């Protein structure tokens, strides 16, 4: 998983202990036990004229016990109303500067997801589809969404100097997208946010449920293109 691998990279230069050796063995065992599984892309022909991009953003405030820095995570999907669901980009990364509040950490994660994933994916899809693409952004922090919508926040105004995060810039991007690409920002609960798994280690029962959220299924080599499966009619099923 993205979080586990990124967590190990923090100790590659120094501080490597037996604990990291145990984690490496656990990751290797996980890869061995899931060698017959892969991400499954579901693409319906009827969605080709109306695809959109969804990005789920989250952060773990002060999750790193050594530096007290927060961890940003996001998942970016291409989706359609007839069942198209493709996970095309994801990330788990410790923020460079320690945040002083959960809203600050969430805003930093929001900016990273917008600049590094959402805009590039939407731009590439526009070129491929030769049309404008709708985008949807989901965050579980209401204060962050309100600050971006207003373009200003007394509590977060210092981020422009300390972390080079401009709320006004995000507001301009958001409203530009809203006018040109029909973008929208939505509040989502933490339990329904699939990007939560990219910010912290999860318990077993939560991890199993998250496999369903990210469409992590066994390989289906016997499935052929245009074959009807379940409720999906005329689907392309592509295993990567």
Better pLDDT: 27 or 143: 143
The fraction of the chain above a pLDDT of 90, given in percent, is 20
- 3-state DSSP call for residue 153? coil
Q: What is the pTM of this model?
A: 0.77
Residues 6 or more apart from 221 whose CB is under 8 A from it?
239
Would you place residue 88 in the very low, low, confident or very high pLDDT band (cuts 50, 70, 90)?
Answer: very high
Q: Which pLDDT belongs to residue 229?
A: 38
- The whole-number average pLDDT for the span 182-197 is 84
Alpha helices in 64-101 (DSSP H): none
Give the whole-angstrom CA distance, residue 219 versus residue 210. Answer: 17
Comparing CA positions, the residue from 195, 206, 173, 168 lying closest to residue 93 is 195
Place of tokens 């209401």: 142
135 in Cβ contact with 53 (< 8 Å): yes
- pLDDT of amino acid 58: 93
Task: Give the residue among 56, 7, 40, 4 at the shortest CA–CA distance from 207.
Answer: 4
pLDDT at 232: 39
User: How far lies 12's CA from each of 4, 20, 64, in Å?
Assistant: 13, 10, 16
Residue 35 DSSP SS3: coil
Tokens of 114: 């917008």
pLDDT band at 205 (very low <50, low <70, confident <90, very high): low
Supply the mean pLDDT for the chain. Answer: 77
What distance in Å separates the CA atoms of residue 57 and residue 74, rounded to the nearest whole number? 4
Q: Provide Rg for the chain, Cα atoms.
A: 19
Specify the pLDDT at position 179. 57
Closest listed residue to residue 51, CA positions, set 60, 38, 42:
42
HSE of 231 in the Cβ direction (CA atoms, 13 Å)?
A: 3
């Amino acid at each position: 998983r993205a979080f586990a691998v990124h967590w190990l990279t923090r100790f590659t230069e120094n501080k490597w202990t037996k604990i990291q050796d145990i984690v490496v063995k656990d990751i290797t065992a996980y890869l061995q036990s899931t060698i017959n599984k892969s991400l499954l892309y579901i693409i319906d022909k009827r969605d080709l004229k109306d695809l959109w991009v969804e990005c789920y953003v989250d952060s773990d405030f002060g999750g790193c016990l050594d530096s007290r820095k927060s961890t940003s995570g996001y998942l970016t999907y291409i989706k359609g109303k007839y069942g198209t669901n493709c996970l095309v980009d994801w990330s788990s990364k410790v923020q460079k500067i320690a945040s002083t509040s959960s809203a600050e950490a969430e805003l930093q994660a929001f900016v990273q997801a917008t600049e590094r994933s959402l805009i590039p994916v939407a731009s590439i899809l526009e070129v491929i589809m030769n049309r404008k693409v709708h985008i949807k952004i989901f965050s579980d922090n209401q204060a962050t969404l309100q600050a971006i919508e207003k373009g200003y926040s007394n509590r977060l105004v210092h981020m422009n100097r300390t972390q080079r995060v401009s709320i006004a810039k995000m507001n301009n991007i958001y409203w530009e997208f809203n006018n040109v690409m029909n973008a929208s920002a939505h509040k989502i609960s933490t339990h329904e946010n699939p990007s939560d798994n990219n910010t912290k280690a999860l318990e077993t029962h939560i991890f199993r449920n998250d496999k369903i959220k990210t469409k992590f299924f066994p390989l289906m080599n016997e499935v052929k293109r245009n074959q009807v499966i379940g409720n999906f009619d005329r689907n392309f099923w592509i295993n990567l």
